[in-house]
Amino acid sequence: MNNRVDRRNFLKSTAVTAAATVAAPSVMGRRVLGANDTVRVAVLGVNGRGRDHIRGLMGVDKVEIVTLCDPDKELLAKRAAEFEEKYGKKVHMEQDLRKVFDDPNIDAVTVATPNHWHALATIWACQAGKDVYVEKPGCHNIWEGRKMVEAAKKYDRIVQHGVQLRSSPAIQEAIQHLRSGLIGKVYMARGLVFRWRADIGKKPLEPAPDYLDYDLWLGPAQERPFSRNFVHYNWHWHWDFGNGDVGNQGIHETDLCMWGLDVGLPEKITAMGGKFLWDDAKETPEVLTSSYLYPSEGKMIEFEVRPWCTNLEDGAGVGNIFYGTDGYLVVNGYGKYETFLGQQREPGPAREEEGDHYANFIEAVRKHDTSIQNGPVESAHLSSSLAHLGNIAFRLGRVLEFDPTSERFKNDAEADAMLTREYRAPYVVPAKV
């Protein structure tokens, strides 16, 4: 498969609009949804993004959240109580996501777990006949992202990647401008992630609390002692579980860089950065600058992560800038763009309007039609992979050459080893999905 060609066709079509030692869930009888049927959903992971999943899905017509799932029983009970108070109905609570997949009354799941669970949860859900909305990054490493794509195709499932920018009418319009030549030949994109990321301290190792099923929380990751530096949220800054901010907030921007430039994975990658502010438990860099080169296409992507006091760039602190021969286009946040044309930077077309990414997912589920998805599974794999490539270049400290077709590095066994991870049984991403 030529991934660059596939990606280009995919982008143009959306511009507008080792086997497990415990058996994965088996494929259930699939309920055929009619146009007016209620879609029954389970939310997996209810701490951070899971709260937004609940809010967003409950705002979509004919959607019923029937189950909340989290390995933390205290957090789970808190969210269920909030759900009952806000929506006037009880919701089933479940600690083990495998039991969710075995429930024939559930049509779809949303995955808001830590990153290291995203791919396996998605694959198991597909095998169980469930459609999936998975948070960014779609995968914790490049290899398992490709397994997600294979699972979605094999089991004929809708898998939506949580990149809300793609459902914004304003951003869709911005992509049209890039395609139509408003700013001339577009040769470079920049992704910006300037977020306040404080000192997380150095919390001690300790026994896991009784209310947390820590084995389930660890899942595919290798065993390591419990620390409150992992649970909850700060797992983002540890390589076993997260991918730093380029693989957190940054996936929205890596995805848009690739979409706007109309490119797939790069051929040359370099990255540099480090920890300059806090002497804390974070393993991932606070500051990261990465570059991705497409020599055969004459294009490149630059990506910057900054953690604290910093300047904004044309008003954007989280967003993208596209550069062309006749001007530049700035995307700020999740649904706003502006253009500046010519040497005098004259203001051009602009628009601000967000979209409903959950509603787009539910429509695709109800119609069982991948063609109407704004964030299909390919985007989960490829936009996440761009971030992973930057992280690999940073960790190895050298320029890397990559083959986008084979999705392997060129004559670099050390880098190839970082395309995947060692999985912990029974939470193994299967080589054959």
Q: Distances from the Cα of 396 to the Cαs of 103, 207, 219, 407, 419, in angstroms?
A: 43, 33, 26, 18, 13
- Rounded to the nearest 5°, which phi and psi values hold at 66? -105, -20
Per-residue pLDDT, 7: 38
Per-residue pLDDT, 35: 65
Per-residue pLDDT, 75: 98
* Cβ contact 274:285 at 8 Å: yes
The CA radius of gyration of the chain, in Å to the nearest whole number, is 21
CATH number of 167-200+231-355+387-418: 3.30.360.10
- For domain 3-164+358-376, the CATH class is alpha beta
Report the DSSP pairing between strands 186-194 and 108-111. unpaired
Q: Distances from the Cα of 241 to the Cαs of 114, 125, 230, 388, 420, in angstroms?
A: 7, 20, 8, 13, 13
The letter for the amino acid at 279 is: D
Domain ranges of the chain: 3-164+358-376, 167-200+231-355+387-418
d(CA 274, CA 174): 33
| Token pair 């990321």 in the structure block, residue | 197
Q: How many CB atoms lie within 10 A of CB 285?
A: 22
| Token pair 């290899």 in the structure block, residue | 143
The DSSP element (H or E) to which 131 belongs, if any, is strand 131-134
For the chain, 433 residues long, give each residue's pLDDT as a single digit of tens.
333 334 334 443 443 333 333 444 444 446 777 667 899 999 999 999 999 999 999 999 999 999 999 999 999 999 999 999 999 999 999 999 999 999 999 999 999 999 999 999 999 999 999 999 999 999 999 999 999 999 999 999 999 999 999 999 999 999 999 999 999 999 999 999 999 999 999 999 999 999 999 999 999 999 999 999 999 999 999 999 999 999 999 999 999 999 999 999 999 999 999 999 999 999 999 999 999 999 999 999 999 999 999 999 999 999 999 999 999 999 999 999 999 999 999 999 999 999 999 999 999 999 999 999 999 999 999 999 999 999 999 999 999 999 999 999 999 999 999 999 999 999 999 999 9
| Token pair 């497409």 in the structure block, residue | 294
DSSP annotation of 140 reads S
Per-residue pLDDT, 32: 72
CA contacts within 13 A on the Cβ side of 108: 28
Strand partners, 191: 303, 320
Q: Tokens in use for 356?
A: 């409903």
Per-residue pLDDT, 19: 33
The letter for the amino acid at 363 is: E
The DSSP element (H or E) to which 308 belongs, if any, is none
* Cβ contact 172:148 at 8 Å: no
